[in-house]
Amino acid sequence: MATVIQAYQFALDPTPRKHGSLASHAGAALFAYNWGLELVTARLDQRRAGQDVQVPWRLPELRREWNRAKCQVAPWWQANSKEAYNSGLDALARALKNWSDSRSSRRKGRPVGFPRRKKKRRARVACRFTTGQIKVLPDRKHVQLPRIGVVRTHESTRKLARRLEQGTARILAATISRRVDRWYVSFTVEVQRAIPTSYGKPSVVGVDVGVRHLAVLSTGQTVANPRTLEGSLRKLRRLNRELARRKPGSKHWNRTRRRLGRVHARAANLRRDALHKLTSALATEHGTVVVERLNVAGMVRNRRLARAIADSGLGELRRLLAYKSTWYGCRLVVADRFYPSSKTCSGCGWVKAKLTLAERTFTCETCGLVINRDLNAARNLARLVESVRGADQKPQRAGQVAVKREAGTGSDPDKTGIVEPQGLTA
């Protein structure tokens, strides 16, 4: 048995009153964030002007300043749990740390800018509760949160409720957040899991994530997109065209944008659900799973819808595989970013100079192999491992955080449980 940290997220169906309470807490977090940012900026200016002032930078200092000022700046503060303000200040402390780490090159990746003021409409507002009454009610249709009280869930909480009843899970925190027009609660849960101590199966599978299909496996199996997702993707394309025709800022433009946001959220949910099923199957049925490394910097800049969807799918697939592989005793190998999985012939190893995204079939000019592009890529990924087999690697286990980065958890989903094949990184 090992202890892992897992997240369970449920969509909520709040009554109008509860809705107001949820919004108030998220708004309070946002308020504290912006208030703290203003304070830090003002203090930095004072210091630059030669004054000897303390600049609150970490959470304890920010909290101290907030407690001193709250009665003045937010006389209504008692309307919300103090954890709401804490969530906002925590997010700020983290943003400040990211900025200073990035400046002193302690943080990899693209440079992080100085935190900016969050706008109510754009911000991902969230409030995290760590103490008080946090419960999943036995009817499996309601959850209880501090200050907010009992809220109905949109879906059954049975997966978590079952574990809580068995005594194999303990709730550590609950985070409420809103995406598009729906509220969610995400529980951070400490779960006791039986984790295999050795790799069981010898089979290796390469996975290529696409747009036309959810994934193509090196075994030749094509995992289709769920039909509901296909519908959403069609709608997405139509609304995108519609938005391009509208005058920016107009009433119709805004309406189309709101619709687009809703369809986007639905497509993302459907896709995530399908990816959950796929990754569970992969991790339980195979000994080794090979996926491509995601080019995150390129992903952010690419504006093509199809590409963006495929990339987000790959990112999600990797995140899910990262923790499921440790749960089920399977090895996850991530191919180097520069490994030409699409351009290489899986038959003879010949590398094509150029392969456009439109070319759906790979034709080898050396051995004459004609093969579906995605299947070729998946086979190359699988081959990658067969060539480095023997380099013994152990799975990471215990204390893993298999959740999105959320206030207070401080985990990097990109680093969770990834086992790197040796000698593959350029």
Report, as residue numbers or ranges, the catalytic residues.
Answer: 208, 292, 374
Give the nearest distance from C-beta 419 to Zn ion in angstroms: 29
Start-to-end CA span in the chain (Å): 37
Binding mask 179-208 for Zn ion (x = CB under 5 A): ------------------------------
- The interaxial angle of helices 16-48 and 82-103, nearest 10 deg, is 40
In the complex with Zn ion, the residue whose CB is nearer, 27 or 347, is 347
Nearest 5°: phi and psi at 181? -125, 30
Find residue 222's DSSP bridge partners: 216
In sequence order, the 6+-apart residues with CB closer than 8 A to the CB of 109 are 102, 296, 297
Give the nearest distance from C-beta 206 to Zn ion in angstroms: 17
In the complex with Zn ion, the residue whose CB is nearer, 289 or 345, is 345
Name residues contacting Zn ion, limited to 340-399 (CB under 5 A): 345, 347-348, 350, 364, 366-367, 369
Give the nearest distance from C-beta 213 to Zn ion in angstroms: 23
Give the nearest distance from C-beta 86 to Zn ion in angstroms: 59
In the complex with Zn ion, the residue whose CB is nearer, 96 or 381, is 381
Dihedral sign computed on CA atoms, order 323, 328, 333, 334: negative
| DSSP symbol at 415 | G
Q: Residue 275: is it exposed, middle or buried by C-beta count within 10 angstroms (0-12/13-18/19+)?
A: buried
In the complex with Zn ion, the residue whose CB is nearer, 343 or 397, is 343
Cβ(354)–Cβ(365) below 8 Å: no
Give the nearest distance from C-beta 366 to Zn ion in angstroms: 5
Give the nearest distance from C-beta 242 to Zn ion in angstroms: 44
DSSP notation for 146-167 = TTTEEEEBSS--HHHHHHHHHT
In the complex with Zn ion, the residue whose CB is nearer, 76 or 350, is 350
In the complex with Zn ion, the residue whose CB is nearer, 81 or 344, is 344
Binding mask 306-345 for Zn ion (x = CB under 5 A): ---------------------------------------x
Cβ(108)–Cβ(132) below 8 Å: no
Q: Side by side, which strands form the sheet with 213-217?
A: 222-224, 213-217, 204-209, 288-291, 331-334
Q: How many residues does the chain have?
A: 426
Q: Are strands 222-224 and 401-402 parallel, antiparallel or unpaired?
A: unpaired
Q: How far apart are CA 148 and CA 177, in angstroms?
A: 13
Name residues contacting Zn ion, limited to 257-286 (CB under 5 A): none
Give the nearest distance from C-beta 368 to Zn ion in angstroms: 7
Structure tokens that stand for 204 in this block = 């290796």
Structure tokens that stand for 146 in this block = 């501090």
In the complex with Zn ion, the residue whose CB is nearer, 244 or 367, is 367
Q: Residues interacting with Zn ion, by CB under 5 A?
A: 345, 347-348, 350, 364, 366-367, 369
